[in-house]
Amino acid sequence: MNPSVVTYSTSGDACDLATDITCSNGACASHTTRCLHELDEYGFFTGCRDVTHLRACGNFECPESYLKCPSSYCIPLRYRCDGKMDCPSGEDEAFCGQCPQGCECDALSYSCRPDQVDLRLLPRQLRKLNLARNSIRSLFRSTFDGLHRMKTLNLSGNPLTVVEAGAFGNLTLLQELDLRGTAITVTTDTGRDVFHGLGNLRKIHADRYVFCCLAGLVDSVGCNAPRDQFSSCEELMANGVLRIFIWILGGSAFIGNGFVFAYRVFNQKKDRKTIVQSSFITNLAVSDFMMGLYMITIASADIYYRGNYALHADEWQSSALCKVAGMLSVISSEASVMFIMMISVDRCIHILLPFKQGLHLSPTAARCSQLIIWCIGTLVSVLPVVIPAYSKGNFYGQSGVCLALPLTVDRPAGWHYSISLFIGANFVAFLVTLLCYLAMYIRYQQSKQMLAQTGKGSRDDKRLTEDIKLAWKMSLIVGTDLICWFPIIVMGLLSAAGELTISAQVYAWTAVFVLPVNSSLNPYLYTLSSLHGKKQKVKKSAESATEENKTMESSFGDGDGCSTAEATNRPVLVAQHLEHWLKSVSRDLTRQELEVIRRDINQSHALLRNAGNTVDGCLKNM
């Protein structure tokens, strides 16, 4: 039926309710004219002439090319601002010929300041609304009432924190939404329904990937948001291999370093030669133990939130536990780097300046330096939490693993602090450690050349050899730390300079595997080096004892007397033999060896007396 044609029932038959509207005057009008206020070419309503078809239209949804009069019927867009009031209260003629105050208008695209204009007075046919960089803090269910024809909405740059469930429910035709620069908090109460009603949404701009998860645009070209390097919509640790490694490395660091600490505290021997190094190793085990605790915390959070992480991402990343975990990782990594540096410096001083006892670390000085290192590590981990500029940006909550490694081109709150700490300070420690081992290597080569030229070594040479052996024993631990930190420092410097873009996969592997792997390996590397050192020491001790016994026996056996000019067959103590043997011994003598020396000296004295020589006279010749 032509909408402009109205038929009257003259035979008393009722209108076809399936296709017609029964007008009050008995006429039948097409169902397609319901709630449409439109005139035909003759100036008559294209429906019931008595406007029955315009009743009860409060909830009617207008077709594409019509404008909704508030709580009433629809009028064609061409009736808007035509100089004639078609809506009951003349809303179709409001703001005609001028853009609403507080807005910039371009056809049906408006850019407004909501503090200067009532959004409810905006044209209902509005297609694009820009509310960027205003002071909007909250969105409620009624905020966008009547703007259901809108297709593009820009809310970027607002301090927006609360979005009531269903706030976008009226925007059924919305296709593009910009939420960049907002601070919307997603909770389990509102998160599921925050985008309810946006069935036609095709593109979303945001700072966090969680909004793509909630909008159902995962892995879509319509999602313009940076992906989390570690997490997915369902899981905190999206990479299954990394999920396994974080448990392995975390458990290894936790158990291994805990055992090393307990063993060294309750079983270590008070050897003055190694007490300083031993105390540093004990503290290093504590710092590595903290890294294990950090990794176990992250792995446990992954299990707890698995399957529904997107709804809990904000809750987890802003939680106190995430901050504590991040602080543990910083304390551990920075303390470990400084302990490694101090171990290297101490060994370097012993080897390069063996007679400068005042420069050698005493046990007391070592304990003081360790206390200072712990204080520095704690301070640098706490500062980002208490400094307002960093804490507002949630320094440790920038990722799901609560770690702020500066390996991306992004510049979040506190990025310069991360670069100064992880790259600057660690690079200096890296150079100091490397230079120390380079100097020790050069000194070692010089010692080898001198020994090759003279053919024998003094006691000082043997002491130097022992110091070098202790330094090389620590080189396994130092080497793994340098290997782990070197790529991190290089990538950080290149990223800071804008020369390198680190992919999400590389970032994830670096943070979860490369950074903590040395904490997991250190206790086992030190155990292996200790076992090897003990084995070599036992072997050498056995060989040395055999050789020294032979030397001792030859020294106190048959001699030529106090003077070779005297009786040649008198067994006497030969002083130079004793002196040579004592110089060749670099270790403390055992009780058995002292007894042998005492016995042989007494026998020599007795033989001298029997031969008619005085002991004092013979000793003068020694």
CA atoms of 220 and 419, how far apart (whole Å): 33
Based on DSSP, count helices (H) and strands (E) in the chain, helices before strands.
Answer: 15, 14
Structure confidence at residue 566 (pLDDT): 41
Secondary structure (3-state) at 61: coil
Weakly modelled stretches of the chain, pLDDT under 50: 1-4, 10-11, 552, 555-576, 618-622
Judged by phi (left if over 0) then psi (alpha if -120 to 50, else beta), residue 286 lies in alpha
Structure confidence at residue 464 (pLDDT): 58
Instruction: Name the CA radius of gyration of the chain, rounded.
Output: 43
User: Helical H runs in 362-425?
Assistant: 363-386, 388-391, 415-418
Place of tokens 């048959």: 558
Structure confidence at residue 219 (pLDDT): 73
State the CB neighbour count (10 A cutoff) for residue 485: 25
Query: Could you read off the pLDDT of 38-88 as tens digits, one per residue?
Result: 988 888 888 898 899 999 998 898 887 788 888 899 988 778 777 788 898
CA atoms of 235 and 330, how far apart (whole Å): 24
Structure confidence at residue 619 (pLDDT): 46
Structure confidence at residue 2 (pLDDT): 46
Rounded to 10°, the helix 275-305/309-317 angle is: 140
Judged by phi (left if over 0) then psi (alpha if -120 to 50, else beta), residue 43 lies in left
Structure confidence at residue 513 (pLDDT): 81
Note if the pTM is more than 0.75.
no
**What tokens does 1 get?**
């039926």
All domains in the chain, ordered by first residue: 99-226 (3.80.10.10), 240-541 (1.20.1070.10), 556-619 (no CATH)
- The residues pairing with 106 across neighbouring beta strands, listed in sequence order, are 109
Structure confidence at residue 218 (pLDDT): 81
Structure confidence at residue 12 (pLDDT): 52
Q: What is the dihedral of CA 302, 183, 327, 346, to 10 degrees?
A: 120
**C-alpha pair distances (Å), 419 with each of 47, 179, 392, 425, 505:** 72, 28, 19, 9, 20
Of the candidates 80, 30, 70, 78, the one whose C-alpha atom is nearest the C-alpha of residue 53 is 30
CA 48 from chain centre, in angstroms, equals: 70
Structure confidence at residue 622 (pLDDT): 44
Structure confidence at residue 329 (pLDDT): 92
Structure confidence at residue 176 (pLDDT): 92
